[in-house]
Chain A
Amino acid sequence: MSMTSTGIASRLAEIAGAANVSSDPSQVAPYQIDGKTPAAVARPGSSEEVAEIVKFAAAERLAIIPAGARTKLGIGMPPRQYDLALDMTRLDRVLAYDSGDLTLSVESGITLRKLAGVLSEHGQFIPLAVPFMDQATVGGTIASGVDSPLRQLYGTARDYLLGIEFVTSDGVAKKSGGRVVKNVAGYDIHKLMVGALGTLGVITKINLRTFPMPRMTRTYVARFRWANGACEFRHAIARSHLRPQSIEIIAARDSSLLRLDDRPGSLFENGRWSVLVSAAGEVEVLNRYRRELETLARGADQNALESFTELGDADESRLTSYVREFPALAAKASQPAAILKISALPKSFAGLAEGIHSVAMRHDIPWAVMMRGVGVTYLALTAQDQSAESLRHLKDACASALRCCVEGMWGRGVMPWCPAEFKREMNVWGETSGDFALMQKLKNVFDPHGTFAPGRFVGDL
C-alpha cells in the first residue's frame, strides 16, 4: 500500500460521498480484525459504487474486506493485508419480492431482522436462524457460512440461495443463478460464495427462496444422564416418520453457558445431555410428535432418560434463542473461549461425545457442546479465568481437540471463534485437502491480486 489513509479516503469520498467515508481512527476501529485496523472505511450506496471502489482498490493494490453488522469478523485467520473496510449496510433494500412465487431479491447489506419484518407481513420467512440474528446482515450470513438449527428440515443457505450478484476484483459486477426456484443455466458459481468469507468478491445482491412460516411450533426436551441415551434418541427420530424442524443435542460441564439457564430441570444441567426437538404443524400433528417423541426417548435408553418435557411458549422462545445463539453466547462469555465446528456424521456422535469429554477432562477445561442432528457439532471450550495460565490451558485444549480432528478420530474440524493470539500458532481451518490446488486456481480467477480478504480463508487464500 503506497497511498496514505487520507489519500485513500479522499479518493473514496469522490466515489461514495464524503459523508460515507472515514479514515478517522475512532471510525475505523470497529472494523478491526484480529488486531488489524484498516486505513479507511467506505459505506457504498449502490452496487455501482461498490464496483468503483473495488476497481480503485485493485489498481492501488489495496486489500478490501466487506463487512455487514461486523458480528463475525473474528472468523478465519488474520488478514495478510487490510486497508479498506467496505461497510455494506447502506445496501439494505428489498429489490423484488414475489410472495406468490416465494422468491425474493435483496441487497446484501439488509439485516435479517428487517427482512424478517417484510416477509412476516406475508406469513413467510427464511430459515436462517443463525447466531447474532438480531444484528446480522443477509450478506454476512451467506459469506460467513454460519448455519441454523433449522437445517434439519430446510437445509442450509446453499440449498435455497437462487442467485447472487457480486463484484470481482476487476471491478465488474457479475451474476450467477437467477430468481426462480429451479435453474440449471450456467455454472453454479453462487454456491462458491457461500462461506467463502468474502475472498472471491463482494456480494451485492442475493436472491433467495422464501418459505411459509409455520403457524404453530412446539419444542420438546428429553434430558438424559449420559451421552449415549441422547445419541440413541436422535437416531430413533431419524428412523421414524417424524420430520422435526430441528434436533439439537446439548451438554455442558462447568461452562458459563450453564448460568444462562440454571433453574432446576432446565436444558443446561451440569453434565447432563439434553435433546431439544422442535416441530411445526397443527395441534393434531404436534400432539402426535409429543406422544411419539416421548415413546422414542424412553425406548432409546430407559435408564438414562431423566425427563421429557414439552416446553411452554416462554421457555420455547428462550431456549430456541439459546440454541440459535450458542456460538455467539460462548464467544461473548466473560471468560476467553474457543469454538470448534466438527463435521462428523450422526453415527459417530457417541464416540465424539466420549472423545470431547476425555479431552476436556485431561485439560481440566469447562466445555459445552451442541450437536446438530444432521451431523454438525459445535464445541465451546472456556478458560477458567482471565489469567495467562488459563489462556494457555485453553490453547492446549484447543490444540488437542484440533489434533483429534486432523488425526481423523473426530471428523474434520475448524475453529471459527477463538482468541486472536491463538491464531499465531494455530491454523483455525485445519489442514487443506487434496482439492486445495483447485481452490487456489479459482481464487486466482476471481481475485488474481489478493484484493479480497487476503489470508483469511482456508490455506491462506
Chain B
Amino acid sequence: MPANETQQRTAIDSRLLRDLKKLLGKDGVLHTPEDLLLYEYDGSVEVARPDCVVFPRTAENVVGIVQLANRHKVPLVGRGAGTGLSGGAIARHGGIITSFARMNRIVELDADNQRARVQPGVVNADLSLAVEHLGLHYAPDPSSQKACTIGGNVSENSGGPHTLAYGVTTNHVVALEVVLPSGELMHLGSAALDTPGYDLTGLFVGSEGTFGLVTEITVRLTRLPEAIKTLLAIYDTVDDATETVAEITARGITPAACEMLDGWTIRAVEDYVHAGFPLDCTAILLIEVDGLREVAEAEAKDVADVCRLHRAREVRVARDARERDLLWKGRKNAFGAAGRLSPSYYTQDGVIPRSKLPATLRRIGEISKKYGLQIGNVFHAGDGNLHPIILFDERNEKQFGDTIRAADEIIEFCIQVGGSITGEHGVGMEKDRLMPLYFNEADLDLMRRVRDVFNPTGLLNPGKILPDSKGCGEIYVRPQPASGAPPA
C-alpha cells in the first residue's frame, strides 16, 4: 500500500465503535483483526483492511451508520458478497464496511407486472429461484450468481453470459431506494416506466458504490424461454472460432449466450470440472439460443451451419438439462480452474467490437509470445468482452513486471480498435489508472463533479473509479493471488 494511503487511514475511534454497537447491537459490528481479515479482500487482486464491518438490518440502520460515519469523518464502503473483481467493496482508505448480508429479503413479488422489490443482500441466483415457479427469472447472470448479491450487481452494473441477448443489470433495474452520504433516504425511478426528470436510476447503476448505499432495488423479471438449445463447437484453431463469432454476429443471429474458451483454459477446466470438453482442441465455443421452440431450433441449426462453415471439427448439442448444466459448469468454473494451475494470475476485462475479435485474439497471442507468458482466454465472445488470464509467478520480479506490461498492451489494443477498458468488472481501485487512456481530463472532471453531487465530501468509497487528479499514473496495481471467486 502506498505511503499516502496509510497516512489517510483513520484509526477507529472507540466512541464510534460504541455508537455503532448501540445502533446495531453487539452482533452487528465486527472489529477484531481476526474478524476483519475476511473483509480485506474481494474477488480482485486488491487488499486493504477496514477498521470495522457493520451489518444493518433496515434502511433506518443504514441512515444511522451514514450519520455516524459523517460525525466521525470515517470512510464508508458498501459490500455485498465480496465477489467483485475490481476492488469495489474494499476499504481502500480503511473505515467502515457496510455489509448487506442481513438485508437479504425479497420484499415484494409482482408477477403480473413482472417486478420484484428486493433488499440489496438478496443473492442473484436466489431471486431467479424464487420466481421460477411463476415462469420468470431475473435475467442478468454473473458467473458468481450463486454468491453475488443484487445490491453488488447494481453497484457494478454486472453482466454475465446471458446478457448478450437480455442486457446487463442497468437494463433490468427500474427503481432504487438509496441512502446518500448526507444521510438522506431517497427514492429514484419507479416500478412504473419513464419517470419524468433525469434518469437518476440509470446514472446510479454502475456507480460502484460512490454515490450512495442502496437499500432496496426494484427489478424487472423476464419470462423464461420456452426452449433452450446449448451447442458446443470444437475447433482446431482460435481463428476459426473467432471468425465464427464474427459471422454469427454479422448474420444477425443473437444467441442468448456465446462464450469462448481456448485450448489452455479447456485443459485446465476439464481437469477440474470434467465437463466433457475435448483435451486436444485449440478452442471451443459454447453457444446458447432460446425462445419459442421453433425459433430455438431454427437458430440452433443456423449457428451449427456457421460453426461448420468455419471448420468446427465437431458441433455437439446438449441433449438434456444435465448436459447443459455440465457445459455451463465448465464455463463458469474456468477461473477457479486457472487458480489451481498457477501461483498467480491477472485478468482483464477489455471490450472490443465483435468484428475485431479475430485480430484481437491474434494480438493477444503475439503478446503472450513476446513476453513468454501463458495467457489463457475465456470470455463472452458474443459481446466482445475479453477476459485474458495472464499467469505468472509473483516471486519472479521480471515476470511480474512483464505481466503488467502485457496486460497494458492488451488494453491499449482494445482502445485502439474502438473498445473499452472494462466490460463488466468495473473500474474500482484496479483500473482507475487506465481511465485517462480512455477518457480525457474534461470527461473525468465532469464525472468527478457528477460524483460530488451525490458524494461531496468523499465519505463514500473513496479512492475508486476516478484517478486522483494529481496522483494519476503513480498508483501501481500489484497483481496477487486471486481469491478464487469465479469472475462473470
Are A285 and B203 interface neighbours, CB within 8 A?
Answer: no
Which among A34-42, A186-194, A255-263, A326-334 touches the partner chain? A186-194
With A412-B195, A435-B200 already in contact, the answer to whether A155 and B167 are too (CB < 8 A) is: yes
CA distance A195 to B199 in the complex (A): 8
The number of chain B residues touching the other chain, given as a range, is: 35 or more
How many chain A residues touch the partner (CB < 8 A)? 82
In chain B, positions 439-488 with a C-beta closer than 8 Å to chain A are 439, 442-444, 446-447, 449-454, 465
B 17-58 binary contact with A (CB < 8 Å = 1; else 0): 000000000000000000000000000000000000000000
CA distance A93 to B39 in the complex (A): 51
Are B135 and A183 interface neighbours, CB within 8 A?
Answer: no
Q: Give chain A nearest CB distance to B27 CB in angstroms.
A: 33
CA distance A173 to B440 in the complex (A): 10
Which residues of the partner chain B approach A173 to less than 8 Å between Cβ atoms? 442
Are A180 and B199 interface neighbours, CB within 8 A?
Answer: no
With A191-B202, A192-B198, A445-B449 already in contact, the answer to whether A347 and B110 are too (CB < 8 A) is: yes
**In this assembly, does B347 line the interface, its C-beta being within 8 Å of a C-beta of chain A?**
no
Which among A266-274, A395-403, A426-434 touches the partner chain? A426-434
Q: Give chain B nearest CB distance to A345 CB in angstroms.
A: 4
**In this assembly, does B295 line the interface, its C-beta being within 8 Å of a C-beta of chain A?**
yes
Are A374 and B193 interface neighbours, CB within 8 A?
Answer: yes
Q: Which partner residue on chain A sits nearest B205 by CB separation?
A: A188
Which among B231-239, B246-254, B321-329 touches the partner chain? B246-254
**In this assembly, does A420 line the interface, its C-beta being within 8 Å of a C-beta of chain B?**
no
Number of A-B residue pairs with CB-CB distance less than 8 Å in the complex they form: 232
Which residues of the partner chain A approach B427 to less than 8 Å between Cβ atoms? 184-186
Q: Give chain A nearest CB distance to B165 CB in angstroms.
A: 11
Which among A24-32, A78-86, A96-104, A296-304 touches the partner chain? A96-104
Which residues of the partner chain A approach B438 to less than 8 Å between Cβ atoms? 178, 185-186
In chain A, positions 409-440 with a C-beta closer than 8 Å to chain B are 411-412, 414, 429-430, 432-436, 438-439
Q: Give chain B nearest CB distance to A180 CB in angstroms.
A: 4
Are B192 and A343 interface neighbours, CB within 8 A?
Answer: yes
Which residues of the partner chain B approach A185 to less than 8 Å between Cβ atoms? 420-422, 427, 431, 435, 438-439
Are A174 and B188 interface neighbours, CB within 8 A?
Answer: no
Q: Which partner residue on chain B sits nearest A180 by CB separation?
A: B351
Which residues of the partner chain A approach B115 to less than 8 Å between Cβ atoms? 345
A191 touches which one: B112, B194, B203, B418 (CB < 8 A)?
B203
Q: Which partner residue on chain B sits nearest A436 by CB separation?
A: B197
Are A341 and B194 interface neighbours, CB within 8 A?
Answer: yes
**In this assembly, does B384 line the interface, its C-beta being within 8 Å of a C-beta of chain A?**
yes
Are A184 and B426 interface neighbours, CB within 8 A?
Answer: yes
A183 touches which one: B203, B251, B351 (CB < 8 A)?
B351
CA distance A187 to B201 in the complex (A): 12
Q: Which partner residue on chain B sits nearest A215 by CB separation?
A: B252
Are A439 and B197 interface neighbours, CB within 8 A?
Answer: yes
Q: Give chain A nearest CB distance to B425 CB in angstroms.
A: 7
**In this assembly, does A346 line the interface, its C-beta being within 8 Å of a C-beta of chain B?**
yes
Which residues of the partner chain B approach A103 to less than 8 Å between Cβ atoms? 353
**In this assembly, does A362 line the interface, its C-beta being within 8 Å of a C-beta of chain B?**
no
**In this assembly, does B156 line the interface, its C-beta being within 8 Å of a C-beta of chain A?**
yes
CA distance A459 to B449 in the complex (A): 22
CA distance A284 to B352 in the complex (A): 36
Which residues of the partner chain A approach B291 to less than 8 Å between Cβ atoms? 243
**In this assembly, does A364 line the interface, its C-beta being within 8 Å of a C-beta of chain B?**
no
Which residues of the partner chain A approach B439 to less than 8 Å between Cβ atoms? 175, 185-186
Are B420 and A435 interface neighbours, CB within 8 A?
Answer: no
Which residues of the partner chain A approach B421 to less than 8 Å between Cβ atoms? 185
Which residues of the partner chain B approach A147 to less than 8 Å between Cβ atoms? 194
Q: Give chain B nearest CB distance to A126 CB in angstroms.
A: 14
Are B442 and A172 interface neighbours, CB within 8 A?
Answer: yes
Are B419 and A180 interface neighbours, CB within 8 A?
Answer: yes
Which residues of the partner chain A approach B114 to less than 8 Å between Cβ atoms? 238
Are A158 and B112 interface neighbours, CB within 8 A?
Answer: no
CA distance A435 to B156 in the complex (A): 22
Are B446 and A180 interface neighbours, CB within 8 A?
Answer: no
Are B249 and A168 interface neighbours, CB within 8 A?
Answer: no
Are A124 and B190 interface neighbours, CB within 8 A?
Answer: no
Q: Give chain A nearest CB distance to B208 CB in angstroms.
A: 8
Q: Give chain A nearest CB distance to B286 CB in angstroms.
A: 17
**In this assembly, does B383 line the interface, its C-beta being within 8 Å of a C-beta of chain A?**
yes
Residue pairs across A and B with Cβ atoms less than 8 A apart, 25 shown, are A101-B355, A147-B194, A156-B194, A172-B442, A179-B353, A180-B351, A181-B384, A183-B422, A184-B159, A184-B168, A184-B425, A185-B427, A187-B207, A188-B157, A192-B203, A195-B199, A196-B198, A238-B114, A243-B223, A288-B292, A288-B294, A343-B194, A411-B192, A434-B187, A438-B200
Known: A100-B354, A184-B156, A412-B195. 7 other contacts (CB 8 A): A101-B384, A181-B354, A243-B223, A375-B193, A435-B197, A441-B453, A442-B198
7 tightest Cβ-Cβ pairs between the two chains A and B: A212-B252, A191-B202, A100-B355, A101-B353, A241-B226, A343-B192, A345-B113
